[in-house]
Amino acid sequence: MFDTHLPFKYPLQFNEECTTWSAVEAVSPTPWFLATVLDPTELIERRFLLARDEEVLIFADQAPLGKLTALHLMQSPMWSPTGDWKLVPIRRVDRKHRKNPAFDSLVVTDPEGVQYSGFPIHRLKRKVRNLELVIELDGHPSR
């Protein structure tokens, strides 16, 4: 999750629908996502910090703010195997269906085929099968 603080509210606001901040605080050490989308109206790239599976699925399924072109998993030192910040490129987003659709879950896969899922999102020890492909990414934001 992310908090905003008034000293970091940017003095110039560019859009009446959003507030521009020069800094946000990551208030939880759990992993989060960096999503890159291509804005359909302005043909520019936009980047979003996403804290939960639900937001990733919204961007992958519905593209409310543009087509998802790249996704990265950000692991804090607490969750990274290196003990430092790690940015993991994601190549595939899948949905694992449950008996109750409210409990469907997200499974993301990196270029080496390593899967991540759960809360907090973590590397899976066993390969998950019977997944519904939501989106496949080439890993390169549009140019």
SS3 70: strand
Least confident of 39-43, 52-56, 76-80, 123-127: 39-43
Q: Write out pLDDT tens, residues 49-104.
A: 888 888 888 888 776 677 889 999 999 888 888 889 899 999 999 999 888 877 78
Q: pLDDT band for position 114 (50/70/90)?
A: very high
Complete DSSP assignment for the chain: -EE--GGGB-SS---TTS--BS--EE---S-EEEEEEE-TTT--EEEEEE-SHHHHHHHHHT-TTSEEEEEEEEE-TTT-TTSS-EEEEE-EEEEE--SSGGG-EEEEE-TTS-EEETTTTEE-SS---S-EEEEE--S----
Length of the chain: 143
What integer pLDDT is reported at residue 74 of this predicted model? 93
CA atoms within 13 A on the CB side of 139: 12
